[in-house]
Amino acid sequence: MSKVSQILQAAHQRAEQLSLPYSGAVLPDEAYELMQGLPKAVLLDVRSHAEWQFVGTVPEAVNIEWRSYPGMEPNPHFLAQLTHQVDPEAVLLVICRSGARSDQVARLAAAHGYSEVYNVLEGFEGDRDADGHRNSVGGWRWRGLPWVQG
């Protein structure tokens, strides 16, 4: 079994365990492996413009705000932007800061015809540590995956 197949199998098992209404959930390093191994894979970063600018972003990602800073108001054009920028046949890997907003987007995408949707657990920055800091417990950056400062 190939590495990609193993990752997809584990992602589907997580979906069953967590009762997710979309294809599955992957860890950041698994998402990166899928990006390298599947030509149809698209990383969708749904954080705010401010987060991309001040925290950093993944160079290959498609960036569409789910909520806008300040105020974290919902992006009323999100679905139209998604369908314009990402083919519904793509293997959609959705990432945010910690995995919460990306779960909301994964649910929306699956409900609107995206058949292969995966939430990136831990997100870009990961959960907070015991001192309330991010980037020390998990996440894309903590795992040493490619990213650039905005």
Mind listing the pLDDT tens digit for each residue in 85-112?
999 999 999 999 988 999 999 999 999 9
144 in a structural domain: no
Dihedral sign for Cα atoms in the order 126, 145, 28, 95: positive
146 in a structural domain: no
Q: H/E element holding 106?
A: helix 100-111
73 in a structural domain: yes
130 in a structural domain: no
Range of the domain at 98: 3-120
142 in a structural domain: no
CATH number of domain containing 11: 3.40.250.10
126 in a structural domain: no
Cα torsion 15, 49, 39, 141 to 10°: value is -70
pTM of the model as a whole: 0.94
Q: Reduce the DSSP state of residue 3 to 3 states and report it.
A: helix
Dihedral sign for Cα atoms in the order 59, 85, 104, 7: negative
32 in a structural domain: yes
> Distance of alpha carbon 91 from its chain centroid, rounded?
11
Q: Residue 130: is its pLDDT beyond 90?
A: no
9 in a structural domain: yes
pLDDT, tens digit, for every residue of 32-83? Answer: 999 999 999 999 999 999 999 999 999 999 999 999 988 889 999 999 999 9
Q: Residue 21: is its pLDDT beyond 90?
A: yes
Query: How many domains are contained in the chain?
Result: 1
